[in-house]
Amino acid sequence: MLLSLARPSSGIGSPSTPFTILAIDDDALVLSTLTELLRAHGHRVLEAANGRDGLALTRAERPDLILVDYHMPGMDGLAVVGALKSDAVTRGIPVVAFTSGTAADANQLVRAGCIGFIPKPFEPGSLPALVAEFLRATVARDRPTPAPTRSRPATGP
């Protein structure tokens, strides 16, 4: 399978609209793949290998979007979402479940406050577009669109 990591030239995820995305997942391979894909699309990606580190990063960095795995040792995704949504500082940050769990697991996460879910395993080619859709539906709608750059006509003596 060929994986394209080319940056889009416009739209969500382009260099003109970088977003900070926090990925919380205990699987190092999933975390590095996710990070590489999203960075290639112009995003700033923060990584946390467990729920507690994810909560600390959220409070310190205030990401635009959080992707959280359900099944993690110690503090699972449901506990992370519960903690985020019960804190006035973090409750407004959109959270997307990113899980290989069952439909019931995903539904629990949505009931706890996730705006949706992305199933694992994921298709690397479609993941950036899925994340862009979540961004468009939440934080991107509140950001001003950058004005197009105009070239000035040459004036001579």
For the chain, domain boundaries: 20-140
In CATH, which superfamily holds the domain spanning 20-140? Response regulator (3.40.50.2300)
Q: Convert the pLDDT of each residue in 99-156 to its tens digit.
A: 887 888 888 989 999 999 898 888 888 999 999 999 999 886 565 554 444 444 445 4
Predicted pLDDT of residue 31 = 95
Q: State the pTM of this model.
A: 0.80
How does residue 3 score in pLDDT terms, banded at 50, 70 and 90?
Answer: very low
Which one, of 90, 20, 17, 4, lies nearest residue 51 by Cα? 90
**What is the spatial distance between Cα 82 and Cα 30, in angstroms, rounded to a whole number?**
23
